């Protein structure tokens, strides 16, 4: 009788220990960054607005260009309101440069809310609400590294590509459609110019509703392994072999969400973002999905 009790106790102990270890393996180091803004600060995430803004006054930046507010659209908690006026260029939250490294895999989740009439166009009408690129310093020096690139069009012709390519999520002016522009690295010529082609994906969109995204990135420099996947509201819209990084580039320099309209003079934009989460290759769709209830716990 005593022996039976000891075996049962020992079995329960080891089962408990095993489940504890498995639980630790499942979540340990899976989530690299998480921002839900419930603490009403931007700790751990960078805000980008550069010098092209209506005002460098801290009150303007904190209470107009960016503002942590009660989430609209019936969602509980806080969200970031991005409001760029005609004299602004951008209001974006940036994953710190160097976080997303070449030859690594990542899961990223975020939410976006477009109010009705979110876009009041100026000279230009486009808006970018999520973008990623590498070493894009061509606005400082047009002869700088990665600034002399080429684009292969669908008809096979090749044209100059100004700067390094920017992969971007663009809603239509009325907010009823989204386009994602992805640039795929093909080769480098004898002059060191990188050649890309472009792939454009479309998906439906809605104003006055939260739209939840999950992105999977394989940043391999092996074209047979590199891949991008994108889900919106749990539906897969992109599953494509795309090599984002050319040779010599060690990380995805910028990954950001928010509002960008190109330059001052291009009108006014208002939108909201929330639930930004970056996971390692060991993370999963559910761990970074904004629809995961643990986000609000």
The residue count for the chain: 297
**Could you read off the pLDDT of 105-124 as tens digits, one per residue?**
999 999 999 999 999 999 99
**Could you read off the pLDDT of 29-69 as tens digits, one per residue?**
799 999 989 999 888 889 999 788 999 999 999 999 999 99
Higher pLDDT, 3 or 177: 177
Is the pLDDT assigned to residue 104 strictly greater than 70? yes
Residue 95 DSSP symbol:
P
pLDDT of 145 = 65
Beta strands in the chain (DSSP E): 31-35, 46-48, 66-70, 78-84, 90-94, 100-101, 105-113, 119-121, 128-133, 148-152, 158-162, 167-171, 177-188, 194-204, 210-218, 227-232, 235-240, 251-252, 254-260, 267-279
pLDDT of 134 = 81
Above pLDDT 70, what percent of the chain?
85
Is the pLDDT assigned to residue 198 strictly greater than 70? yes
Is the pLDDT assigned to residue 294 strictly greater than 80? no
Q: What are phi and psi of 135, to 5 degrees?
A: 45, 45
3-state secondary structure 224-283: CCCEEEEEECCEEEEEECCCCCCCCCCEECEEEEEEECCCCCCEEEEEEEEEEEEECCCC
Q: Where are the domains of the chain?
A: 31-296
Is the pLDDT assigned to residue 223 strictly greater than 50? yes
Which tokens in the block code for residue 77? 């908690």
pLDDT of 23 = 35
pLDDT of 121 = 96
Is the pLDDT assigned to residue 90 strictly greater than 90? yes
Cβ neighbours, 10 Å, residue 135: 21
CATH number of 31-296: 2.60.120.200
Q: Report, as an integer, the average pLDDT of 260-269.
A: 95
- For the ranges 42-46, 143-147, 250-254, which has the lowest average pLDDT? 143-147
Contact 125, 269 (CB under 8 A): no
Above pLDDT 90, what percent of the chain?
72
Residue 214 makes CB contacts below 8 A (sequence gap 6+) with 107, 108, 109, 230, 231, 285, 288, 289
Cβ neighbours, 10 Å, residue 53: 20
Is the pLDDT assigned to residue 252 strictly greater than 70? yes
Sign of the four-CA dihedral 10, 16, 18, 21: negative
pLDDT of 16 = 40
The SS3 of residue 45 is coil
Q: What is d(CA 50, CA 53) in angstroms, rounded to the nearest whole number?
A: 7
pTM over 0.85: yes
């Amino acid at each position: 009788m005593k022996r039976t009790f000891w075996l049962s106790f020992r079995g329960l102990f080891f089962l408990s220990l095993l489940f504890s270890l498995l639980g630790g393996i499942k979540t340990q180091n899976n989530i690299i960054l998480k921002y839900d803004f419930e603490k009403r600060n931007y700790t751990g995430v960078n805000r980008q607005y550069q010098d092209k803004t209506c005002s460098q006054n801290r009150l303007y930046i904190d209470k107009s260009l960016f503002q942590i507010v009660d989430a609209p659209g019936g969602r509980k908690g806080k969200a970031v309101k991005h409001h760029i006026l005609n004299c602004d260029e951008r209001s974006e939250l940036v994953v710190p440069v160097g976080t997303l490294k070449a030859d690594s895999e990542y899961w990223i989740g975020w939410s976006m809310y477009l109010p009705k009439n979110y876009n009041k166009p100026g000279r230009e009408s486009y808006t970018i609400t999520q973008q990623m690129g590498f070493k894009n310093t061509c606005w400082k020096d047009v002869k700088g590294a990665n600034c002399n690139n080429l684009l292969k069009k669908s008809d096979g012709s090749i044209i100059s590509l100004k700067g390094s390519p920017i992969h971007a999520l663009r809603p239509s002016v009325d907010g009823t459609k989204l386009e994602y522009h992805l640039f795929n690295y093909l080769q480098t010529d004898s002059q060191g110019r990188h050649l890309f082609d472009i792939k454009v994906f479309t998906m439906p969109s809605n104003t006055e509703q939260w739209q939840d995204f999950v992105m999977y990135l394989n940043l391999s420099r092996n074209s047979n392994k590199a891949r991008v996947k994108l889900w919106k509201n749990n539906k897969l819209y992109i599953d494509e072999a795309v090599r984002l990084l050319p040779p010599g580039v060690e990380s995805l320099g910028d990954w950001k969400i928010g509002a960008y309209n190109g330059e001052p003079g291009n009108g006014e934009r208002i939108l909201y973002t929330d639930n930004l989460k970056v996971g390692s290759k060991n993370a999963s769709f559910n761990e970074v999905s904004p629809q995961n209830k643990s986000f609000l716990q």
